[in-house]
């Protein structure tokens, strides 16, 4: 079910996948939106009820003028407050992974468990791919052809509009967001106290194996690392294995 709420004068949209299970908040990465967690939500039901946010500038949520770290965290705080939840597991991929662990570090009373998918405590994001994304295409197929092998990773964000087929995110907005994501976030990571699972793709071009191991060693509480045969988008490349390790972690943490 798609729903929305207002935060600081902007609409934020989200998908509540429903079911009788305990809530789990999910935060997507760049080029993506809440719908990317559809398969994971199906795999986790009925034990878990996935509720995924379209983060600012993505999906059905409004564009913003700022994409700084504090802005994203304020959105997650507003999302949690809107849902009326107590301490809840939070899962985040890439951009959403940093947002998730910074939210957990700065609001430890709101997060019971944390799953971070393929992103580091130090981020050095390259936005050249963003600036090379194709202009709106006359139909869906030319857009898919222009994207080539990357098309399956972006297809949940495809949109048809008056200018043709493009994306539910803005190119300039994404570049601003990626620039703001870069930096050293060790202070947040090392202050974490909740049980944490770090999931890395063995073919990741974003999170190096040595850095992932250092993150586990320097975590402020209890942390584990699982590496799956996948690229940066682990939940796409290895959906069944990813769902299995998330399920096992949440069961063990409780």
Our CA dihedral for 54, 72, 76, 216, rounded to 10 degrees, sits at 110
- Per-residue confidence (pLDDT) for residue 254, from 0 to 100: 66
CA distance 105 to 73: 11
Q: What is the pLDDT of residues 27-37, one digit of tens each?
A: 999 999 999 99
Residue tagged 């949520």 (tokens):
61
- Per-residue confidence (pLDDT) for residue 215, from 0 to 100: 98
Is the domain covering 2-123+170-253 a CATH 3.40.50.1820 domain? yes
Q: What is the pLDDT of residues 164-207, one digit of tens each?
A: 999 999 999 999 999 999 999 999 999 999 999 999 999 999 99
Please say if the pLDDT value at position 96 is more than 80.
yes
- Between strands 48-53 and 10-16, the pairing is antiparallel
CA distance 41 to 38: 5
Peptide bond into 82 cis (omega under 30): no
Please say if the pLDDT value at position 103 is more than 70.
yes
- Per-residue confidence (pLDDT) for residue 75, from 0 to 100: 98
3-state DSSP assignment of residue 185: coil
CA distance 120 to 200: 10
- Per-residue confidence (pLDDT) for residue 8, from 0 to 100: 92
Degrees to nearest 5, angle at CA 195 with 97 and 204: 35
Q: What is the pLDDT of residues 10-23, one digit of tens each?
A: 999 999 999 999 99
Alpha helices in the chain (DSSP H): 38-44, 69-83, 95-106, 128-131, 140-147, 151-154, 171-181, 186-190, 209-218, 234-237, 239-253
Where do the domains of the chain lie?
A: 2-123+170-253
- The mean pLDDT of the chain is 97
Closest to 117 measured CA to CA, from 43, 179, 240, 201: 201
pTM above 0.85, yes or no: yes
* Residue 163 Cα distances to 144, 146, 159, angstroms: 16, 16, 10
Closest to 158 measured CA to CA, from 248, 36, 10, 254: 36
Contact 82, 74 (CB under 8 A): no
DSSP 54-113: --TTSTTSPP-S---HHHHHHHHHHHHHHHT-SSEEEEEETHHHHHHHHHHHH-GGGEEE
CA distance 162 to 160: 7
pLDDT tier at 253 (50, 70, 90 boundaries)? confident
Contact 242, 115 (CB under 8 A): no
């Amino acid at each position: 079910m798609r729903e929305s709420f207002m935060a600081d004068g902007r609409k934020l949209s989200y998908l509540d996948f429903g079911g009788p299970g305990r809530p789990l908040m999910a935060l997507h990465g760049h080029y993506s939106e809440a719908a990317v967690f559809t398969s994971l939500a199906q795999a986790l039901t009925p034990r878990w009820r996935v509720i995924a946010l379209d983060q600012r500038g993505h999906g059905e949520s409004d564009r913003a003028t700022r994409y700084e770290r504090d802005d994203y965290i304020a959105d997650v705080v507003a999302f949690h407050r809107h849902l009326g939840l107590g301490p809840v597991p939070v899962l985040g991929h890439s951009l959403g992974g940093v947002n998730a662990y910074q939210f957990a570090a700065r609001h430890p009373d709101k997060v019971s468990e944390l799953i971070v998918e393929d992103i580091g405590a130090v981020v050095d994001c390259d936005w050249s791919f963003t600036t090379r994304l194709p202009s709106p295409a006359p139909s869906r197929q030319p857009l898919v052809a222009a994207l080539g092998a990357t098309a399956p990773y972006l297809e949940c964000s495809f949109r048809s509009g008056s200018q043709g087929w493009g994306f539910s995110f803005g190119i300039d907005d994404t570049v601003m967001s990626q620039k703001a994501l870069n930096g050293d976030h060790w202070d947040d990571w090392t202050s974490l106290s909740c049980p944490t699972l770090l999931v890395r793709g063995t073919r990741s071009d974003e999170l190096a194996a040595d850095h992932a191991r250092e993150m586990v060693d320097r975590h402020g509480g209890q942390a584990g690392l699982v590496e799956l045969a996948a690229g940066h988008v682990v939940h796409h490349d290895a959906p069944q294995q990813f769902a299995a390790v998330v399920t096992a972690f949440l069961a063990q943490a409780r």
